[in-house]
Structures are given as structure tokens and as C-alpha cells.
Structure 1
Amino acid sequence: MRGIPGSGVFIFFGLVFMIELVAFFAIRQLLSHPKVKRKLSYGYWLMSAVLFGILASGFLNPEKIREASNYQFFYFVISVSFFNLIPKLLLSVAFVLSLLFRLFKARYYARVMLMSTLILSFGVMLSIGYGIVFGRKSLRVIEQEVHLEDLPKSLDKTVVVQLSDIHLGSFENDDFLKRTTNTINQFSPDLILFTGDMVNNYAKEMNGFEDEFAEMNAAYGKFAILGNHDYGDYTNWKNELDKNSNHLALMQKIEAAGFRLLLNESAEVVKNNKLIEIIGVENWGHPPFPQYADLDLAMKDTTSESFKILLTHDPAHWGKKVVREIPVSLTLSGHTHAAQSGVQLAGIEFSLMYFVQQYWGGLYQQDHQFLYVNRGLGCVGLLGRIEMAPELTVLTLRSK
């Protein structure tokens, strides 16, 4: 949760103003009555000034956000900005394209383009509004079979539930987590695996949710790793001692909830006389963020005879360090949230996160190695889920 660097503030707000200005011209282009245009102008710029002020109050004082333990103001600023700017950005692009039609004296087509985009923009506003109010509370259960070359037949149909990116700082109460826990237990999983980002910043965000985590049941155990937000790197601390105390408290709370926390280490599970090794690494950070992962250390005590599952928060780690290098056939990750927004049409799912992360959501395969990227349960930044609902993953491991 970092603020905008000082060098980028003017560029950022300059772009925001340009979007507001061009969208204004786009709307005016569709009006013909002078009085309507005048009233629209007053209303548009009054509303824009209010929204611009809200945005400025949040991002011109990033330290206020970085030192906050209550995220409601930050979420409000981001949500209002999405709701306001995304539809106007669409209108701005349409207006620029319409100028090309006008250049060739095709005014009718220019007007059709603007009117169509205006209707689309209203639809986008409704979708964003729905995602903020309802989408983040609509649990999506994804049941996925994974056929693995090295899975012993005695481990066939092993059920693994994956949770990721809960971000408890985005929860107002425990209702949603209770529903998630009840759903998990209905599947009677063999393993529950959590792939990081329990909180936004602070261990105290777990307060009031301990019972729900403790009531998650798995026949052969619950295991967890840490995500980038779990280290407290995104907030200001008075001193290093406070940061370390917060980190220690969070780890203690995770283990008190019945999860074994894996910190660059492995754990053994025996099912039907076959050995499963759960390997968990700390967060594999992208520069300039700290690098806590040590995959060699985590693999040190593993055996060649076991079936292995690797937990690593960032899916980019799989492509960089795991594929064709480490003998692990199944890796579980999270981190991306699938941008908490996307498009689902005719069975095809797409998120803009694709342009940031190659592995952004779902199941991936290279040769005999698989990666599953959970789209996350909670929210960070935008307090909403736009066509990308909170995910609970139920993986059934199948032997070939």
C-alpha cells in the first residue's frame, strides 16, 4: 500500500485532469440544446472537483495511508476513483477515435461511436458498483482435477483446498469467512493449504477471526506460508523492533489457528502409507522488495521418493526457479488477485493482470509440472471484485 512517488504526482494528476476534460467534451458532443449543455457543464465540473479533491486528499499525503491501521479511507478513495475514472477513460478514448471520423466528415459514425461508448460506460459503472457492494462477498468455488504423472495410485483422489490472499483488513466482520469455513468443511479435504497474505499489514487484523480459521478441518493437516503483505513492509513503523514484534505476533496467530507455518522448510504427511511432502517458501519478492525465499533450504530435507507440493506466494517464482529445475510436479500460488477484475464471456476468462503476470489465475502446465494460481479471497486497493469473485479452490489430485 505505497503512495505515489513525489516525482510522479504531477504526471498522475495531469492524466486524471485530461481524462476528466476529454470525457466532458465527449458528453457535450452528444448534446445540442444550449441550456442543457450549460447545466451539464456546471454539474459535471462540480462533481469532478469533489472527486478530484477526494483523490488528492488520499494520494497527496501517502504517509497518512501508510501509517493507517484502519483502511476504510484508503478503500473509499480507490473505489470512488475506479467508479469515476474508468468509465470516463472509455469515453475519452472514444472521443479521440471519433475525431478521425470527423476528419473524414463521417459525423454520423462519430456520433454513433460516442453514444455506444456512453451506454457502455454506464454499464461499466454498474458493474464496478456491483463489484464493490456485492461482488467481494460472492464466494466462487472452483473444483479442478489435476492429473499428475508421479502421483501414486494410493493417493488418487486426494482433495486439497487452497486459500490465498485473504487480506483480513478488508473484512468488516466474520460473516463471509464463516461461510467460507462451512463450505471448506463440506468437501472434507485431506489438506488445507494457504498461500500467503493473511493480512494487509498488521497482526491485529486477525483479531476476531481466529475461530473461523480454527474450525477449518482437514484430515491430514493445514499448512501455510507468508505473502508479501505479511511482513509489514508496506507501512511505517516507529522502529524495527515494532515491525519484528508485529511479524512474530502474526506468525503465532496463524499457528494458533491450527496451521503449520512453513518458512523455507518442508513438512511430511503420510496417507495410505505414501509420503507427501509440503514445501513452503517465504515470499519471493520482485526488486525493490525484499527477497525472503530460499528454495534450496526448503528442499534440503526432502526425499526423492515422496510426492511433493510446493507453496510459493508469487507465481512468477514458478516460471523463474521451479520449472525444469526443481522436481516438484504441483505448485500452488496466489498474489495476483487476477486484478480483482476481469471479463468472463462464453466460458472464456480474461484479466488485465495478464499484461503484468504471465501466470495470473487458474491452472498452468509445462511438461509434467503444474501450477495453480488462486485468485484470492479478499481485497487490497480496490474494495471490490468486478467479475472476478473471491475464490476457494478445491483440487482433486488424480493419478495417471
Structure 2
Amino acid sequence: MSTVLMGILAFGFSNPSKIREANNYDFFYFVISVSFLILTPKFLLAASYLISLVLRLFKARYFSRILLMSSLIISLGLMINIGYGITFGRKTLRVIKQEIYLDSLPDALDKTTIVQISDIHLGGFKDDSFIRRAADEINSFHPDLILFTGDMVNNYYQEMLGFEDEFAAMKASFGKYAILGNHDYGDYSNWESKEQKQINHQTLEGMIEDAGFELLLNESAKIDINNESVEIIGVENWGHPPFPQYADLDMAMKNTEKQSFKILMTHDPAHWADRVIEKTDVPLSLSGHTHAAQSGIQFAGIEFSPMYFIQKYWGGLYKHGNQYLYVNRGIGCVGLLGRIEMAPEITVLTLRSK
């Protein structure tokens, strides 16, 4: 089995340019998912075996046997858990309800309801049934606002074809707003020309707007809720080198009013730490991007993802002074076609005044 798997990996990644040109992700997802399913338990077993050899050198055969048996049981459980995440976990919709108490929130905006969705990656879906279910769930909360924080597709606008009605069906009393994520620019694909890439990008923007979302590209939108001014600020993706940093927060906030209540949408939560806190007066920011690594541990109310070692703000609510950040764990999958203890998330945020 290991030989077959290594052969698949060698074949799949021997020519990485072909992967970047692919618009069908089935083989790519298959390779990543099977590798994760088989190699992760084997890595644990191999590490345990090496430790057991050390224990035997010190005549601790009893502890060596306990270690090997324990690792075997844990590896089996891990394989079952990964298999479940690939088969069912990515289809199990999770609704997280979060109240956020804000010092600067006017009383008239108390109990304003925002539904946040993020990182849909439509290239990983075979049909529209899951997105239709998500739309029905979103509408059941009768939100004031729906905010989408980027990564509609993996690379290509064609991935959105067949899903337009589901996004158009999402309803909010005061509007739907969207920004772009790192995958929405097509930077992860090889293009025959800059013009081809630009057409792909512009077509995707048009499709998002045709679905009823106002796309904010380093700009803001002013709305009135209960006679209070609310400004939704949206920046383009704040990328990590070597990818471009399209975000321009100064430009996005150029026309905002000092007295208005502001909500910032920025795809990458690292942008909040680097450009927002202590440098702006924006009380609430919303991000996605991390997917919470699509894997983690949830036990006794404690949640942890290995994404923490890469991205400090990987999922949930964070606070710095009087400024808040919520990081949505995403709906779709990229790379690993599965979610292990980190189900697809719809976030229902209720703003509360103190």
C-alpha cells in the first residue's frame, strides 16, 4: 500500500506546473486526502516504534510494549477520525452563535445580527445541495447583514457556475457585502496571458455582484440601521510574499466618517494584527482564510487547531483593547477534501451595546 501511495504522490507532484493548470481538482484532492489518511497514522506509529527501541535499550520492555499498543490503538482511532472527516465531516454544517459586546456600539444598533460566511472554495463541490442547505440555514436567522470574507473559488470563475441561484437566495435586511480572498485572484494558476487572468478575475467579480453582493475592493459602503450610520469597509487580500498585497486600508477608509460605527472585512486575519489594532479606530473586523487547518481537537469545551503554529488568530473571537476580530473557519475545503473536528461554519454574530 505504501509503495502504491508513494507512486501516486510521485506521479501527482512530479510536474507541479500541471497541477497549477488543472481546473478539475479530483486527482489533486484524492492524492492529498489519501496521503493524509494513511501517512498521518503511520508517522505516529513510526515515531512510537523509534521511542520503543530506545526504551528496550534501557531494558524497559514492559513500557515499550505499552507504548506500541497504545500508539496502535491511537493510530487506528486517528485513521477512523480522518476517514470520517473526509466522508462526512465536510458535509456537517456547524452554526456558531456569538454575542459581541462593544463599547462603541450605539444603543440603536443593539442586537444587530450579522451572518458571516467565508472560504467557500466551490471547486470542491460536485453539486449545489450543500450550498442550498447553507443558504436555507442563513435565511432562517433573518440577518440584518450577510458578510462574505473571501475565497469564493479555488482559481476559476467557472467554479461558480451552477451555484448562482443559491447565493442569490441568501437574504439580509440591510444588504449583502463581499470581499475577495487570496484564491479569487487566480494567483495559484498558470495563465497563457495576463489578459486571460484578468478576464477570469473580472468575470468572477461580476458573478459575485450578480448574486446580490456588493463587492468592496479597498472601499467602504455606508448604510443606515435604525437611524444610525454603519460603514462596511472591505479591503482586498493582504497576501503573504511572494504573493501580492492588494489591500489598501487607507484607501478603503478614505471616505468614512469618524462618528460612524465601522465593520472591517479583511480576508487574512494577520492583516488585523499588522494594520488594524492600535492603528485604526475600527471596533470590529471579520476574517477567514485559515480554515482552522480543516483539522483539530475539540474536547470538554476546549478547541485547538494546528493552524495556531502558523497563524495566531486561527478561529473564533479575539480581543485587543476595545477592538475585536472574528475569524470564520470557512465552509469549503482546499487541499484536503475533508474536515476533521472543524466542521464547515456559518457564524451568527449578534452585536450588543454595553
TM score, norm. by length of structure 2: 0.99
Aligned residue number for residue 65 of structure 1: 19
Aligned equivalents of 1:97 and 1:353: distance in 2?
26
Q: Percent identity?
A: 69
Q: Does 1:306 align with 2:260?
A: yes
Distance in 2 separating the partners of 1:171 and 1:192: 22
Does 2:32 correspond to 1:78? yes
Name the structure 2 match of 1:248: 202
User: Which residue is 2:54 aligned to?
Assistant: 100
Q: State how far apart, in whole Å, the 2-side matches of 1:48 and 1:215 are.
A: 46
Task: Give the corresponding residue for 2:155.
Answer: 201
Matched ranges for 1:240-319 at <5 A? 240-319=194-273
Q: Whose Rg is larger? A: 1
**Gaps in structure 1 of 5+ consecutive residues:** 1-46
* 1:100 CA displacement: 2.2
Q: Alignment partner for residue 358 of structure 1, among 282, 305, 312?
A: 312
Mapped to 2, the partners of 1:79 and 1:194 lie a distance apart of 27
Which one has more relative contact order, counting CA pairs under 8 Å at least 6 apart? 2
- Aligned partner of 2:136 in structure 1 is 182
User: How much has 1:101 moved relative to structure 2?
Assistant: 1.1
Structure 1 runs (4+) deviating above 6 angstroms are: none
How big is the shift at 1:165? Answer: 0.2
Q: Does 1:144 align with 2:98?
A: yes
**Match for residue 377 of structure 1?**
331
Alignment partners' CA distance in 1, 2:4 and 2:55: 34
Identify the residue that residue 170 of structure 1 maps to in structure 2.
Answer: 124
SS of aligned partner of 1:395? strand
**1:231 alignment partner in structure 2:** 185
Q: Residue 52 of structure 1 corresponds to which residue in structure 2?
A: 6
What SS class does the counterpart of residue 285 from structure 2 fall into?
strand
The amino acid of 1:87's aligned partner reads P
Per the alignment, residue 111 of structure 1 pairs with: 65
Residue 368 of structure 1 is matched in structure 2 by 322
The structure richer in helix per residue is 1
Q: Distance in 2 between matches of 1:395 and 1:345?
A: 23
Q: Distance in 2 between matches of 1:282 and 1:372?
A: 17
Match of 1:154 in 2: 108
SS at match of 2:267: coil
How far 1:95 sits from its partner (Å)?
1.2
The alpha carbon displacement at 1:167 in A equals 0.2
Q: Quote how far apart the aligned CAs of 1:352 are.
A: 0.2
Give the equivalent residue in structure 2 for 1:336: 290
Q: Distance in 1 between matches of 2:81 and 2:197?
A: 38
Deviations 1:14-37 (A, max 9, x none): xxxxxxxxxxxxxxxxxxxxxxxx
Q: Which amino acid aligns with 2:172?
A: A
